[in-house]
Amino acid sequence: MSDPHAEYAKRLANYESLATSKNRLHVRIGNIKLAVVAAGLLVTYLCLAKQFLQPAWLLVPIALYLLLAAIHEQILRAHHRAETAAAYYKRGIARIDDRWAGTGQTGDRFRDENHVYADDLDLFGRGSLFELLCDGVEKPQALASSLKLRRGLVQNLRKRLRRRWGRCFGDSTTRT
């Protein structure tokens, strides 16, 4: 079995390389689009001011620009996907190296300070379960409500264990 750190580092290098190449392509296509706009202005001048070309020639730079705009959009999306993947693997390496705490969303806004075990359960805050699981989550509110639901289940389990303890050992104070 391969080393996860080495595998993540290899994938990170691949995605960073892909992001770099897509960025270079993005710049090239952007410059070509500017050249097409300049050529379109020249064709417009030659068609309208000098009447050297037929007005139908105006469609050529417009069509070329639209084609380049569509290609450019695909390149930008591919660049964004590569950067997102690279960031994912950077965070993965940080998790493997145990350097993840304090780098994500802490979820402090969901923390219930009045809860008895809020600090013990480490559900929210720096280095919490929320911060570890919230990596890439689009709706952190849903994750927080799920964690709070689990906390409610833990409270219910605690009550059931108290009752069972009371039944087993005859402690009348825990039978509630």
Contacts of 92 (CB under 8 A, 6+ apart): 8
Alpha helices in the chain (DSSP H): 4-44, 59-96, 118-121, 129-133, 140-169
Same domain, 9 and 55: yes
115 burial level (CB within 10 Å; 0-12, 13-18, 19+): middle
Query: Which range, 3-7, 73-77, 119-123, 159-163, has the best average confidence (pLDDT)?
Result: 73-77
Q: What is the pLDDT of residues 17-70, one digit of tens each?
A: 999 999 999 999 999 999 999 999 999 999 988 888 898 999 999 999 999 999
Enter the DSSP assignment of 62: H
> Tokens 């996907």 — which residue?
81
> Tokens 């960031």 — which residue?
87
Same domain, 68 and 142: no
Same domain, 61 and 145: no
Q: How many domains does the chain fold into?
A: 2
Among residues 70, 96, 122, which one ends one of the domains? 96
Same domain, 87 and 129: no
Q: What is the pLDDT of residues 130-175, one digit of tens each?
A: 666 666 555 666 666 666 655 566 666 667 666 766 666 565 554 4
Residues of the domain holding 154: 108-174
Give this prediction's pTM.
0.63
Same domain, 114 and 149: yes
Same domain, 113 and 71: no
Same domain, 87 and 59: yes
How high is the pLDDT of residue 99? 79
Same domain, 114 and 92: no
Same domain, 71 and 20: yes
Contact 133, 169 (CB under 8 A): no
Same domain, 169 and 130: yes
Q: Residue 131 to residues 25, 58, 84: CA-CA distances in angstroms?
A: 35, 55, 18
User: Does some domain include residue 117?
Assistant: yes
Among residues 96, 128, 155, which one ends one of the domains? 96
User: Does some domain include residue 101?
Assistant: no
